[in-house]
Structure 1
Amino acid sequence: MAKAYIFHRYGGPETEAFVDRPVPVPGPGELLVAVRAAGVNPVDWKRRSGHRRPGSDPVPLPGVFGSEVSGTVEAVGPDVEGFVPGQAVLGSPLTGGYAEYALLAASATAHKPDGLSFTDAAVLPVAAATAYDGLRQLDPAPGSTLLITGAGGGVGVAAVQLARHSGIRVIGTASEAKKALVESLGAVHVTYGPGAADRIRAVAPGGVDAAFDLAGGEALTVAAGLVADRKRLISAGSPEEVAALGGSAVRRSRTAAVLDELARLVVGGALRTQVTGTFPLAEAARALRTVESGHARGKTVIEVAR
């Protein structure tokens, strides 16, 4: 039996619990991975709350938390090539990541390079990969100005760094408490909230060439009013809102090739994962509350002892 942190019905934190369950068996094209670290993301508590994208299937109950992990291959299923037990990997689990073991699709799993820690590897499949996919979708030119809302969160800190690495000027909105973090990544910080549009215009009088929304709501509306071409407006978490404003949702590729490239950038020093909090699996609830509060800086990771 193996431990996993689950929600047994949709709702709030009261629906969460640890359970012992049989170790999963990998099917065709799947890997069984002994989890070493799991990234914590807003999507985790949103799924527990019953939120899902339009057209997507509900999460089967009970649901195991977690959508990004790193670990070592324990077993390979039929028709799997390129992986053997003992190899270190990273990817998005099919069965949830706040657990001692998880199943991953081999086709979307990357090998972890030696120079990348399990903790840092665990935060690449969701947050960093979303940032990478969004920037590739926008394809901003070097020297252009990009607005990133929610720049102090997990996706935001990766998006700022990747954009700056490509020679793009970044204006990042975030709370005043995250100003030092945002500026340390090379972005111009603007405090979000009432008057944000005027503050952005003050630092970008010529307007912004593109906008990458990670906050939704009023921040997305402000971004839409600042970008001249709404085709240059994307959002990672508000597909219906951004479509109504003439923009589009981030198109996720979810490929091993993207993870390979992100791992290379981290090892090479061009991308810092900004992991600011780690918790043992036994404190999964506290890790999730840290992110659910909306005040977490950078990334939070659950580490599984082996």
Structure 2
Amino acid sequence: MPKAYVFTRFGGPETEALVDVDRPRPGPGQILVAVRAAGVNPVDWKLRTGFRRPGQSAEPVFPETLGSEASGIVEETGEGVTGFAAGDEVFGNTAAGAFAQYALLPAGLAAHKPAAVSFADAATLPVAAATAYDGLRQLDLDPGATVLVTGAGGGVGAAAAQIARAFGLRVVGVASEGKKDFVRSLGAVHVPSGPGWAERARAAAPDGVDAVYDLVGGEVLTEAAGLLADRARLVTAGAPPQAAAALGGARVARALTAAVLDAVAELVARKDLDPHVTRTFPLERAGEALRLVEDGHARGKVVIEVEA
């Protein structure tokens, strides 16, 4: 039977297990994919603890497979699906977990993987890179503008810095001192995080910043808002919508379309965007991959690779 890495109830790592599951069957509008790689994101462990995405009301059916994004090869298509056929190399958001040998993808949230993009790189794009892309499109800045990215050393932050550079923007990236070289390698001006970071940001951008893309939330979001003359140029993926609205900004509005997936994959193919996959783990070590992200020690992206 196919394998999947699941959690059996809400809680900590003790709820996780590698188990045998039935091979999924694609429903209407879905494609069944033989997974080759799955990206690991903070939202994965948060969902295990009981966190629900905005608008998500359905209760989970345990065991629930972990993982939100995958790449692989189409095995079967469901009723009404067009544009995909068995044998196609694809990537996208999953309907019911990605840490598995087989995953279901909604056809509307899947895209064809360019030949120049590896399965590992493609598997990191639907969550982090697409979120970064959506936020920058929402800011709608002209080339030459300066955007400040908080949490620039993380998965979304690293993607946001690179995509912003590809859009012709100047980037100021806030991250720990230990990530200075990494942030600079993204084409950003590094500002050390921690107490006093806002003043350091003002010194790094004496002409001011035109927009803020926040990935941290809390007090960092509040301080970042104080750097802006126009609070409408504040977006966050690190805080709830109400926290952003209270400061005059907004939560990143996710497009969740195949067009965005195509756009970020093209940036990778053109080498304008490097997903920075720094660690890979086989499916049987999915727990180690998740711990690396959950403990906050990951630099770049962590990927689970699944053998054919």
Offset, 1:59 = 5.2
Change (3 A) 1:8 1:160: same
Q: How many angstroms apart in 2 are the aligned matches of 1:256 and 1:113?
A: 13
Deviations 1:215-255 (A, max 9, x none): 11222111111111111101113123212222110001111
Q: Is the 8 A contact 1:26 1:77 kept in 2?
A: yes
| Aligned-partner Cα distance in 2 for 1:224–1:297 | 26
Structure 2 counterpart of 1:253: 255
The code of the aligned residue for 2:8 comes to H
Q: How far off is 1:58 after superposition?
A: 5.2
The corresponding residue for 1:5 is 5
Q: Give the SS at the match of 1:226.
A: coil
Match runs of 1:1-306 below 5 Å? 1-57=1-57, 60-62=60-62, 63-239=64-240, 240-306=242-308
- Aligned residue for 1:277, secondary structure, equals strand
SS in 1 for 2:199: helix
Q: Residues 148 and 160 of structure 1 are in contact (CA less than 8 Å); yes or no, is this contact kept in structure 2?
A: yes
Instruction: Report the CA distance between 1:295 and its aligned residue.
Output: 2.4
Please report how far the alpha carbon of residue 55 of structure 1 lies from its aligned counterpart in structure 2 after TM superposition. Answer: 3.8
C-alpha displacement at 1:173, in angstroms? 0.5
Alignment RMSD (CA, Å):
1.1
Tell me, in whole angstroms, the C-alpha distance in 2 between the residues paired with 1:59 and 1:250.
25
Whole-angstrom distance in 2 between the partners of 1:59 and 1:244: 30
CA shift digits 1:169-201 (9 cap, x unpaired): 111011111110100111011111111111111
Change (3 A) 1:84 1:94: same
The 2-side partners of 1:263 and 1:281 are apart by: 24
Q: Whole-Å Cα distance in 2 between the matches of residues 163 and 178 of structure 1?
A: 19
- Deviation string, structure 1 residues 98-147 (Cα, Å, up to 9, x no partner): 01101111122101111111001100111000000000000111111101
What number of residue pairs does the alignment pair up? 306
C-alpha deviation, 1:52, in angstroms? 2.4
> Is the Cα contact below 8 Å between 1:34 and 1:102 reproduced in 2?
yes
- In 2, the alpha carbon distance for the partners of 1:237 and 1:38 equals 22
List, as ranges, runs of 4+ consecutive aligned residues in structure 1 with deviation greater than 3 Å: none
Q: Distance in 2 between matches of 1:219 and 1:305?
A: 41
C-alpha displacement of 1:54: 4.5
User: Any conservation in 2 of the 1:7–1:61 contact (CA below 8 Å)?
Assistant: no
- CA distance in structure 1 between the aligned counterparts of 2:226 and 2:194, rounded to whole angstroms: 15
**TM, length-normalised to structure 1:** 0.97
Supply the distance in 1 between the matched residues of 2:210 and 2:53 (Cα, whole angstroms). Answer: 28
Change (3 A) 1:304 1:14: same
Distance between the aligned counterparts of 1:136 and 1:32, measured in 2?
A: 31
**One-letter amino acid of the counterpart of residue 237, structure 1:** G
Question: Structure 1 residues 294, 207: CA separation in 2 closer, same or farther (over 3 Å shift)?
Answer: same
TM-score under structure 2 length normalisation: 0.97
CA contact (8 A) 1:213 1:234 kept: yes
